[in-house]
Amino acid sequence: MKNGFVRVAAAVPEIRVADCAFNISRISALIQNAEAEKVQIVCFPELSVTGYTCGDLFFQQKLIADAEEALKQLQLITFSTTAVVIVGLPLRIQNQLFNTAVVLQSGKILGIVPKTHLPNNNEFYEKRWFSPSSATKVESITIADQQVPFGTNLLFSDTQFSFAIELCEDLWVPIPPSSQHAMHGAEIIFNLSASNELIGKNNYLRQLVEQQSARCNAGYVYASAGFGESTTDVVYAGNGLIAENGKMIASSERFTFEEQLIVSEIDIERLHAERIRNTNFCNDKSAQDYRIIKIEDAHYKDFKLKRTFEKHPFVPSLSNREKSCEEIFSIQVGGLAKRWKHTNSETLVLGISGGLDSTLALLVCVKTADKLGYDRKRITGITMPGFGTTDRTYTNAVNLMQSLGINAMEISIKDACIQHFKDIDHNPELHNITYENTQARERTQILMDMANKQNGMVIGTGDLSEQALGWATYNGDHMSMYGVNSGIPKTLVRFLVDWAAQSLDSVSSEILKDVLKTPVSPELLPAGKDGVILQKTEDVIGPYELHDFFLYYFIRFGFSPEKILFLAINAFEDIYPTDVIEKWLKMFIRRFFSQQFKRSCMPDGPKVGSINLSPRGDWRMPSDAVAFKI
C-alpha cells in the first residue's frame, strides 16, 4: 500500500461466447494493462473465461475442459505479473458444476470461491446448470496440478488488508455473503457479475453497490459482463464500479464496444477508521470459520492517485445545495428554538460585525424568530465599533440589521478600552495581544450585560474552524450562552451565507454579497489608508480552506499528519505549493493541541455534521496533550 491506498481495477473484456482461447487472450491483455497501471488486484466478470450466456453449452464436456485448459494458460501468464487476478469460470467438482471465481497471483491459484445464491427467474436459469455453494462440503480441490482451497469462507490477505469475493446474485439477497466477509475482516469486496440491463436497473444497481459498501464499511469492486455476451434475449452493458464506504469513486462507460479497465484506489486506513469507531462492527462468533489465504505484497511506492479528493469536504455538492442548506439551517434553528423557549428569554442578543460569522448567526436568529412566530424586534443586534472597525464592515452591519427588521443598537468600545488601558497601565500605541483582547472582552461584556438588562440570551457567532484553531479570545468572543455556529466550519459558513443571499429580499441580498467579498478579519488593529483592512486572518494563520481540510481528515478519520499532507497535496496541488501546505498543516497541528483548553469550556451549540468539537460528546481531549510531530 501507499499511504494506506490499495489500487484496484474492474476489468470488462470483449468476449466470445464459448471461445475460451479468445477470451483468455483478451483477459491476458487487460492483465498486462493492469500491470502497467500498477494495479494490485484486478477483477473480471462472472464466467468471463467462457462467457456467461453459454446456456446449455455448460453441459458440454468440451466447454468445461476448454475452460480448465484456459485457466492453466492464465496461470502461466501470471508468473510474470505481480497483480492478484480474479476471473470467473465454470468448474466441475465430482458430479456437480459450480459458477466460481478463481484467484491467481504469480503463477499460483490461491483459492476458488463458488457462487452462493443462484437466480432462477424469467431472465436467468442458473439452477438449470449450476449448484449453489451449499451443495458441497468440499474444502479443497486439485486443479492445474495444485491443491487449492475451495469455499465461500476464504479471506485473501497480505500484511495490511484483506479481501473477499461474492458473485452477482449474492449482492441482491437480503443478507449478502459480503456482510459476513466484512465482519470477518475483509476491507474490500470483489463481485464478479453478469447483470443484464433494464430500464431503471442501473440506478438501482449503483445504489445497491454504494449501500453495501457503506453497510460493510468496505471498498466494493464490481465487474460485470459487457460486449460480446449473447443478446438473444437480454443485453449486457459492461458495468465496472468501484465504491468506498457508500460513495462511488469510479465507474465505466456503459454500452461501449471497447474493452475497459476501471482503476482507482481504496483507502484502507479510512475504512479502518470507520470500523474502529463502530462498536457494533465485530466478528460473528456463530458464523463459520474463515480461512486466511496469503497474498504477496505489491510494493508500489511511486504511483500517483487516480482518484481525487474534494477541496472542501464540509461543503455539499451544488446539485444538492437547496436541500442541504435548508437542512443545516433547520438544525441550527431547531437547536436555538428549544433553548430560547426553555430559558423564557425575552430577547436574543448578539454582536454584529459585518463579517461572515455574525451574519450567519443573525440569519439563524431571524429564521428562529419567524419559526416561533416571534417579533423580530426580540432580536437585539449590537454593532460595537472599535479601533480597527472599517467603514465597510460597519455599514454592512448597520444596514443588515435594518433590512432584517431587528432591534439595532450601536455601542462604541473605544472609550471603555482606553480607560481599561489606563487601569492596567498598558500603552495604547503598543498593538499587541493585550491591545486586541481588551477589545474582544469589552464587546463580550457589553453583550452579556445587555442580555442581563433585557432578560436576554447572548448568541455566540464563532464557528467550528475557529474552535479548532483556538482563534478566539478566551472569555471574549470565545464565550456566549448558546453558539449557533459551533458546528459550522468556515468554508460552510461562506456556502450558507451565499445560499441565503439568493433567497432574501434584494436589499439584504446585496449586503450579503458584499459581506462575502470582505476579507476575514477580527478588525482589532487599526485599518490602513482609505479604511483598507490590514489585519487579515488568513495571512496570519493560513487559508481556512486548508484548515477545514486538515480538520476533516484529522477528526473524522484520525489520519496521521503525514497522511493528511499527502491528501492535501493531492487536492490542492493546483493552488498551493507543497511547502506552503506543509507550513499551514504544522500551524494547524500546533494550534489544535495548544488551544484545547478553550474547547474544554466552550458553550452549548447544535451539532450539524459528522464533526463537532464539543467536550461533552464528540471530542474529549486533555488540554495538556503533546502535539503530533510532522
> 263 and 325 share a domain?
no
Do residues 383 and 413 make contact, with C-beta atoms less than 8 angstroms apart?
no
Please give the average per-residue pLDDT across 355-377, as a whole number: 98
> 286 and 329 share a domain?
no
Domain closes at, from 538, 568, 602: 538
**pLDDT on residue 284:** 59
> 396 and 341 share a domain?
yes
Domain closes at, from 487, 510, 538: 538
What percentage of the chain carries pLDDT values higher than 90?
86
304 is a domain residue? no
Q: How sure is the predictor about 527, in pLDDT bands with cuts at 50, 70 and 90?
A: confident
299 is a domain residue? no
Q: How sure is the predictor about 525, in pLDDT bands with cuts at 50, 70 and 90?
A: confident
What is the domain count for the chain? 2
563 is a domain residue? no
**pLDDT on residue 298:** 67
Residue 459, strand partner residues: 482
One-character DSSP codes across 167-181: EGGGGGSSS-HHHHH
> 249 and 137 share a domain?
yes
485 is a domain residue? yes
Measured distance CA(233)–CA(123) in Å, rounded: 8
Measured distance CA(130)–CA(59) in Å, rounded: 10
What percentage of the chain carries pLDDT values higher than 70?
98
Instruction: Mark whether 562 is an active-site residue.
Output: no
- Catalytically annotated residue among 20, 54, 168, 216: 168
Among 319, 228, 213, residue whose Cα is nearest residue 266? 213
100-137 tens-digit pLDDT: 999 999 999 999 999 999 998 766 679 999 999 999 99
> 137 and 244 share a domain?
yes
> 285 and 349 share a domain?
no
CATH at 224? 3.60.110.10
Do residues 140 and 148 make contact, with C-beta atoms less than 8 angstroms apart?
yes
> 184 and 322 share a domain?
no
Measured distance CA(511)–CA(98) in Å, rounded: 69
600-624 tens-digit pLDDT: 999 999 999 999 999 998 999 999 9
**pLDDT on residue 535:** 83
Fill in the DSSP letter of residue 352: -
* 206 contact partners, CB below 8 Å, separation of at least 6: 241, 248, 251
Measured distance CA(380)–CA(457) in Å, rounded: 10
Q: How sure is the predictor about 347, in pLDDT bands with cuts at 50, 70 and 90?
A: very high
Q: At what angle do helices 490-501 and 506-517 cross, to 10 degrees?
A: 150
CATH at 469? 3.40.50.620
> 275 and 328 share a domain?
no
14 is a domain residue? yes
**pLDDT on residue 529:** 74
**pLDDT on residue 304:** 84
- Catalytically annotated residue among 115, 490, 563, 598: 115
| Weakest mean pLDDT among 8-22, 119-133, 166-180 | 119-133
> 248 and 323 share a domain?
no
288 is a domain residue? yes
**pLDDT on residue 285:** 55
544-570 tens-digit pLDDT: 999 999 999 999 999 999 999 999 999
**pLDDT on residue 111:** 98
Instruction: Give the domain extent around 356.
Output: 318-538
> 331 and 282 share a domain?
no
- Tell me: pLDDT of 286 over 60: no
- CB burial of 212-251 (b: ≥16 within 10 Å; e: otherwise) equals bbbebbbbbbbbbbbbbbbeeebebbbbbbbbbbbebbbb
- Catalytically annotated residue among 14, 46, 187, 265: 46
- Tell me: pLDDT of 271 over 90: yes
Please give the average per-residue pLDDT across 381-403, as a whole number: 96
> 178 and 38 share a domain?
yes
Please give the average per-residue pLDDT across 440-450, as a whole number: 98
Instruction: Mark whether 115 is an active-site residue.
Output: yes
- Alpha-carbon torsion 179, 181, 182, 188, what sign? negative
Q: How sure is the predictor about 94, in pLDDT bands with cuts at 50, 70 and 90?
A: confident
Please give the average per-residue pLDDT across 293-320, as a whole number: 87
The residue whose grid cell reads 506543509 is 582
**pLDDT on residue 473:** 96
List of long-range contacts for 91-94, beta carbons under 8 Å, 24+ apart: 91/64, 91/67, 91/141, 91/143, 92/64, 93/136, 93/138, 93/141, 93/150, 94/136, 94/138
Domain closes at, from 490, 506, 538: 538
CB atoms within 10 A of CB 158: 16
246-258 tens-digit pLDDT: 999 999 999 888 9
Parallel, antiparallel or unpaired: strands 240-244 and 247-251? antiparallel
Measured distance CA(20)–CA(88) in Å, rounded: 12
∠ CA(73), CA(78), CA(81), 5° rounding? 155
- Tell me: pLDDT of 287 over 60: no
182 is a domain residue? yes
> 251 and 111 share a domain?
yes
Please give the average per-residue pLDDT across 348-377, as a whole number: 97
Instruction: Mark whether 294 is an active-site residue.
Output: no
Type of residue at 612: N
- Tell me: pLDDT of 498 over 90: yes
391 is a domain residue? yes
Do residues 512 and 359 make contact, with C-beta atoms less than 8 angstroms apart?
yes
* 529 contact partners, CB below 8 Å, separation of at least 6: none
Q: What is the pTM of this model?
A: 0.92
**Chain mean pLDDT for the chain:** 94
Q: How sure is the predictor about 536, in pLDDT bands with cuts at 50, 70 and 90?
A: confident
How far apart, in Å, are the Cα atoms of 373 and each of 265, 348, 456, 585? 51, 14, 17, 45
Measured distance CA(465)–CA(486) in Å, rounded: 9
Do residues 387 and 372 make contact, with C-beta atoms less than 8 angstroms apart?
no
Residue 92, strand partner residues: 97
